[in-house]
Amino acid sequence: MKLRYAPTELDEHRARWVRRSGNIVSMACDDQPDANASRRLETSGLDALSRRLGPPTSRLSVAAATLVVLTWIVLSIAVMVAELLSVADSIAVPLGVIMVLCIVTSLALGVAALVEHARVPQLRGLAQAIFAVVVSGAELMIILHAYFSGFIGPHGRRLRVRGRPVLARVRARASERPSCPSGHRATVASLDEVDRAALRDYWTWVAREEHASITAFERLAVALRERGAPRSLIVGAQMAAQQEADHAARCFALASAYAGQSLEPCALVVEDTGTPTLVTLALEALIDGCLGEGSSAAEAALLVGGGDTAKAVHDTLVVIARDEAEHAALSWAVLEWCLAVGGAPVHVAVKRTLAALAPRAKPTGLTDPSASQRAHGMATGVERDAAWRAAHDVTVTRASALLGHAISRAA
Ligand SMILES: [Fe+2]
Ligand SMILES: [Fe+2]
């Protein structure tokens, strides 16, 4: 076979391109010059492109690292825009699903690249693969921790800063263990170490949430005053703050008894984010008050009604069940007022949020409590879910009716 350098006129620009890339395939056979040249040029073009992109392992690494960075940038922007538009709560679920899918995908790509690196050792792309696996793995752990952290959700109104719940840290106090306001201390003598540790963690968490609720209601009272709400709502929020202080004291007393040392909250420094909009007030009333505190009241009532509860715990649950029901009622009044004066923006936000409310309680990732833990106030998964479902159904039915009424009045 005789070879000669003979790119056709049609292939000339491709031949030059191939020659510039250092290939010698710009030679054609005499018998089928055009076909062979084109085929070889095609092959050469793919090879050159392949060299530019790197080996398959490198491509996986670049894709994984790029997805990690893009996920972070795009979702950060989306969250900022959602908060500016006061729709963060409405889109939290779909945004979370998208974020988890992106992170899992980048983690899978990164792991696949590392596997390839182990099979065919090479340095190119290794740094990107490690970066993707470490960052997406850490993000996934943080998300799972956030999702499963907390025992049973809010006990008292949540304190939110830029939409995110805030809690105070806890420290041991050197002074005498605080006594429970009801005059009873939790009896811990019959509990083993495992039960005491579980109850210490549980009641410490509840106490932190009750403590945060004090500030939440104080801020609500100020916000309602600045927004020109009726005096009854402002006074109701102020009274609720006092009741949450009582809940926090009771719960810290219980937690201290199980811990064997006096526990107290650290100072809670909360950023001033200005007066919340009517949309924010309405959504916090709906989610944290009507549903959250409604669920807490229902759960405490279930525990009280279940009998066989330690005296100090029983007394605390009775107070919490009564007060949280009052707080939920206050939130219904706040929501109704926001719907009446907030107009279309509030109507739209409430409608979207209602459609996205979780019908089931957030899973804890924990096993059900032992009989001793149950007797000291830890609800079972079934009880927790029943309380949430009850509050959810009431919330959806009643809020839908309020929304329909507000829209018809505005029309
Ligand atoms: Fe409370
Ligand atoms: Fe409350």
Confidence class for position 193, pLDDT limits 50, 70, 90: very high
Q: How large is the angle between the packed helices 193-226 and 231-259, nearest 10 degrees?
A: 160
Ligand in closest contact with the CA of 317: 1
Predicted pLDDT at 114: 85
Within this chain, do residues 214 and 310 fall inside the same structural domain, yes or no?
Answer: yes
d(Cα 331, Cα 345) in Å, to the nearest integer?
19
pTM: 0.66
Q: Is residue 135 part of a domain?
A: yes
Beta carbons within 8 Å of 206's beta carbon, 6+ residues apart:
151, 155, 251, 255
The letter for the amino acid at 361 is A
Within this chain, do residues 176 and 223 fall inside the same structural domain, yes or no?
Answer: yes
Within this chain, do residues 183 and 142 fall inside the same structural domain, yes or no?
Answer: no
Kindly list the distances between the CA atom of residue 92 and the CA atoms of 78, 339, 346, 349, 377, in Å, as whole numbers in the listed order. 10, 22, 17, 13, 31
C-alpha 398: how far from chain center: 26
The answer to whether the beta carbons of residues 299 and 285 sit under 8 Å apart is no
- Provide the 3-class DSSP secondary structure of residue 160: strand
- Provide the 3-class DSSP secondary structure of residue 193: helix
In the predicted model, is pLDDT for residue 369 greater than 60? yes
Predicted pLDDT at 239: 97
Predicted pLDDT at 91: 67
Per-residue pLDDT reduced to its tens digit, 253-300:
999 999 999 999 998 888 888 899 999 999 999 999 999 999 999 999
Within this chain, do residues 115 and 47 fall inside the same structural domain, yes or no?
Answer: no
The letter for the amino acid at 290 is C
Round the average pLDDT of the chain to a whole number and report it. 80
Within this chain, do residues 49 and 78 fall inside the same structural domain, yes or no?
Answer: no
Ligand in closest contact with the CA of 247: 1
Q: Which of 40-44, 114-118, 126-130 has the lowest mean pLDDT?
A: 40-44
Which one has a higher pLDDT value, 120 or 231?
231
Domain total of the chain: 3
Predicted pLDDT at 9: 45
Kindly list the protein residues that place their beta carbon closer than 5 angstroms to ligand 1, a single-atom ion.
Answer: 156, 210, 244, 247
Per-residue pLDDT reduced to its tens digit, 308-349:
778 889 999 999 999 999 999 999 999 999 999 999 999 999
DSSP per-residue letters across 82-104: HHHTT-HHHHHHHHHHHHHHHHH
Ligand in closest contact with the CA of 208: 1
Q: Tokens representing 272?
A: 């001033």
Predicted pLDDT at 1: 43
Beta carbons within 8 Å of 198's beta carbon, 6+ residues apart:
369, 370, 373, 378
DSSP per-residue letters across 359-385: SSPPP-SSPPPPHHHHHTTPPPHHHHH
Within this chain, do residues 48 and 115 fall inside the same structural domain, yes or no?
Answer: no
Q: Is residue 284 part of a domain?
A: yes
d(Cα 362, Cα 379) in Å, to the nearest integer?
13
Confidence class for position 55, pLDDT limits 50, 70, 90: low
- Provide the 3-class DSSP secondary structure of residue 4: strand
In the predicted model, is pLDDT for residue 30 greater than 50? no
Q: Is residue 154 part of a domain?
A: no
Within this chain, do residues 119 and 233 fall inside the same structural domain, yes or no?
Answer: no
Distance 323 CA to ligand 1 centre (A): 7
Within this chain, do residues 92 and 27 fall inside the same structural domain, yes or no?
Answer: no
Kindly list the protein residues that place their beta carbon closer than 5 angstroms to ligand 2, a single-atom ion.
Answer: 156-157, 293, 324, 327
Q: Tokens representing 50?
A: 């392949």
d(Cα 132, Cα 127) in Å, to the nearest integer?
9
d(Cα 177, Cα 163) in Å, to the nearest integer?
34
The answer to whether the beta carbons of residues 287 and 159 sit under 8 Å apart is no
Q: Which of 1-10, 96-105, 348-357 has the lowest mean pLDDT?
A: 1-10
The domain of 43 spans 3-53
How confident is the model over 181-185, as a mean pLDDT?
A: 52
C-alpha 343: how far from chain center: 29
Ligand in closest contact with the CA of 157: 2
Ligand in closest contact with the CA of 245: 1
Q: Is residue 153 part of a domain?
A: no
